[in-house]
Amino acid sequence: MQVLTAKYEYSDDILKITLHGEIDHHSAKAAREEIDLKILEYRAKTVLIDLQGVGFMDSSGLGLILGRYTHAKEAGSVLKVINPSPGAEKVLRMAGTDKIIPIIHRKNN
């Protein structure tokens, strides 16, 4: 199991959160709390969650993304998912999350 880590970058009213590792029941709780604190701290216009480094994501990952979408919206931010790994994107699309949260593939981050 690969531990989930998060890296935060803030520039030009954009908070980019880069997740790396596996998102499951055990890792999602701590990530939720930490990401929520950063969303409130920066109050960025846009929050990007980069999932390129996520090797595994189950329904806990869906909960993590959807909950942060709601939290960001309440804080006045727009949340988008960028660069999802194939596995993460499959889970997001199967659940219909892409109909609520934009999924963007970016070559340059």
pLDDT digits 0-9 by tens, 53-62: 999 999 999 9
Task: Tell me if the pTM is above 0.75.
Answer: yes
Residue at 109 is within a domain: no
The CATH number linked to 10 is 3.30.750.24
Mean pLDDT, residues 64-88 taken together: 97
Residue 53, SS3 per DSSP: strand
- Domain of residue 100 covers 5-104
What is the Cα Rg of the chain in Å?
12
Q: How many domains does the chain have?
A: 1
Residue at 63 is within a domain: yes
**pLDDT value for 42:** 96
